[in-house]
Structure 1
């Protein structure tokens, strides 16, 4: 399975670090799997399946069939042309700036130093979804269910 994971990483044009980030595992986990120290867990395989739905999971696990479930390009936007509709001409209206509500100054909000310091657990409430935004303008959604 390790060799097929390497093949998948290369086919998707990723580094092992970017692959780890994409499927949501620690980079060391990928390193341990690729070095042969650890074998991929069921959770690891499920993360591959969620992150790469176009990959044939039977191929990943057993080496059966083709790598991809369809002949679609691996880059989902590779063969697409984006067309924009021409905007209709609007009458010459001077846009008005939005009216801002003036508020009295308040004390600055104390923001936590790190995620672990945030008190996100509220008694009697369940978390439905967590969205994490990264500095490279990407994001991941986590659903606990």
Structure 2
């Protein structure tokens, strides 16, 4: 099964960028991107948001879950429930002649752009963040170590 790191690599390669260039482009350190590619860490929601902010035509569903195509396309069949419940205004996006759009939405296939088409806003899934209150911590002891291998302990008065 393809992992998100593999899809991130596909994006990077589709834009003909090196790992360093791609990391700089999305505002991430090259070391962080490298640790994702080497399975030391998993991509976070911040990584997804960084990529998506620089590449709005990228499909979030594809990036996160591997569903659909890499770039957002016009859906030929409208979902009945979505069309009835959607109060979002239609937005226009360009059809890039079947070519792959680059980072700025320009057609890289060399063919002229066709007439713009209408696009319905997709339902966006927002994660719920729960903040758990922890009791305030109290200092119970402070130790200072000296270079002669001795130390002193300080305990706050109550």
Residue matched to 1:67: 70
Residue matched to 1:19: 22
Does 1:34 pair with 2:37?
Answer: yes
Give 2:60's match in structure 1, choosing from 54, 57, 62.
Answer: 57
How far the C-alpha of 1:74 sits from its partner, in A, is 2.3
- Name the Cα RMSD after superposition: 1.8
CA contact (8 A) 1:12 1:74 kept: no
| Unmatched 5+ stretches in structure 1 | 82-145
CA contact (8 A) 1:60 1:67 kept: yes
Q: Secondary structure at the match of 1:19?
A: helix
Structure-to-structure mapping, 1:60-139, within 5 angstroms: 60-70=63-73, 72=96, 73-75=100-102, 76=106, 78=108, 79=110
Aligned length: 81
Which is greater in Rg?
Answer: 2
| Unmatched 5+ stretches in structure 2 | 74-94, 113-158
Cα separation, 1, equivalents of 2:40 and 2:19? 16
